[in-house]
Amino acid sequence: MGVLLFACVMAAGASFPAAAEVAPVVTAPAGAVEGLREGDAKVFHAIPYALPPVGERRWRPPAAMPRWQGVRAAQTMGVACMQPPMAAGPYDRGKVPMAEDCLTLDVTTPANARNAPVMVWIHGGTLIWGSGHSKMYDGQEFAKRGVVLVSINYRLGVFGYLAHPALSKESPEDTSGNYGLLDQIQALQWVRDNIASFGGDPRNVTIFGESAGALSVEYLLASPRARGAFDKAIVESGYLFTMPELRTKRGEEYSAEDIGLWLAGKLQKPDIAALRAMDARQLAEASAATGYAPYGTIDGKVLKRQLVDTFDHGEQAPVPLIAGFNSGEIRTLRFLAPPVPPNPTAYIEGIRARYGDLADEYLRLYPATADLEQNGLDSTRDAVFGWTSERLVRNQAALGQPAFLYYFSHSYPSADAAGLTGFHASEVPFVFGAIGKTPAFWPAIPDTAAERRMSNAMLDYWTSFARDGKPSSEHGPTWSAFGSASAFMHFAEVPRASTGFMPGMYALHEQVMCRRRAEGGQSWNWRTGSTAPVLPARTSGCQSPP
């Protein structure tokens, strides 16, 4: 009778007030969370994946969050992890809400997702700044493509990477440092354990990040502790800078524990108890003021050796990979570039004095007839980001894994006007579909059909790769694996499938790296041009790559 009455009323065209939209609730092994419905997606903000790293848990590995009771509200954007103010510049975001209790993540999922591919975003910021809770990292466009997006926070700066003898003594493994990396591994474990409840496939997880987020992806590829936690990886503007060893000084690199002792002395805190008692904001600002720079630590457990050695020995995770970089990386990172020589003669003389038998090849790639300032920007870009990208692709291909290279030189009027064509991180809004949604400090991307086509192509390539390891798009050409043809995708005014990537670039910088390491040097690949140390002569162990 009730069914018949309902049918008759509907047939009569009766109308009723729309029911209030019910907030989505997901019950996962971690506990129940109530999120938001945004369009066709469900969004859950600031879900804790570990206990707050405060008090005695400061500088301890993350501890899993116990299952909570009741339904946890997940409708408000979370705070960033503690970080110092950023100097005014192209990435200055102004005042950022932050707290030491920050180990949370966001999940955006298609409304009716089931066994959907999962992408886990790791934000950049030199391991000092940034947050996974940013409007630019909106997952709506991923959800439209049937992908679950997870964006994570992790401890930064001194909170995430301090090593110290007293901390090592506290540890059952006699190690310290790498807390931010361990946070990322804990977040990935949370994803494995819980993402199925949100409609994601825990057996199909792609990690991706930009800059320090890309470095974090490299650490995760290298770490035995992260093995099995993900299935594919994307490295956007990654770099392979050296890491300190926990207790051993190597060449120019002090040990991580010695750096920790130095920092404690600078802060006038004689022991770990005093450091733990410091106000978090004061600690973030005071440690940054000393020049303390966070890196991973080679501790024999979480990170066993330098990244280049891990990849050379084929010890990294055997997973499909996308890696690439941008044409104008150094335009917003000019502190990395060498000073501009006064004239072409001085430039040539400086290169010949420093590069010896490789000077001719260096001058072929970065000739004196070109803009000398641009030469410095290009050579530094290639030494830091280009060499890394091609090396990673070659290393994964050597494991028999599909590996894809890209080069992003796309630009738009406001970036061009500021001299920032293809600047560092400029691909990120296109990857997230954030056209017209960039923050105030970003050169505004016009909301035009051309920019949306580029963004749609990049979103398609990234999400299809996450789905089956094969980047494809109806908005762009077929993207072939790197292979013997040195194939790559060039994101210019439109995506272009190309071959013969930058002939000679990788070989030059690989040879420079190898010779400097053979001599005992460690910080090899950001000192180029007139600031480069004199290059050692060729050694038998440093052969030119094919």
Q: Give me the active site residues, please.
A: 211, 329, 424
H or E stretch at 4: helix 2-11
Three-class secondary structure of residue 325 per DSSP: strand
Please state whether beta strands 403-408 and 488-491 pair in parallel, antiparallel, or not at all (unpaired).
parallel
Beta-carbon contacts of residue 263 (< 8 Å; ≥ 6 apart): 158, 162, 287, 290, 292
3-state secondary structure 460-501: HHHHHHHHHCCCCCCCCCCCCCCCCCCCEEEECCCEEEECCC
Q: Are 503 and 509 in contact (CB under 8 A)?
A: no
CB 44 within 8 A of CB 26: yes
> In whole angstroms, what is the distance from residue 508 CA to residue 29 CA?
51
Structure tokens at 249: 């000084």
> Nearest 5°: phi and psi at 212?
-65, -25
The span from the first CA to the last CA of the chain, in angstroms, equals: 79
144: exposed, middle or buried (C-beta count within 10 Å: 0-12, 13-18, 19+)? Answer: middle
Q: State the residue for tokens 């995708």.
A: 489
**Residue at token pair 């006064």:** 342
How far lies 375's CA from each of 211, 366, 384, 411, 466, in Å?
22, 5, 14, 20, 36
DSSP code at position 45: E
Residue located via tokens 């503007």: 237
Edge-to-edge order in the sheet of strand 403-408: 36-38, 41-48, 104-110, 148-152, 116-122, 200-210, 232-236, 321-326, 403-408, 488-491, 495-498
Name the DSSP letter for residue 50. B
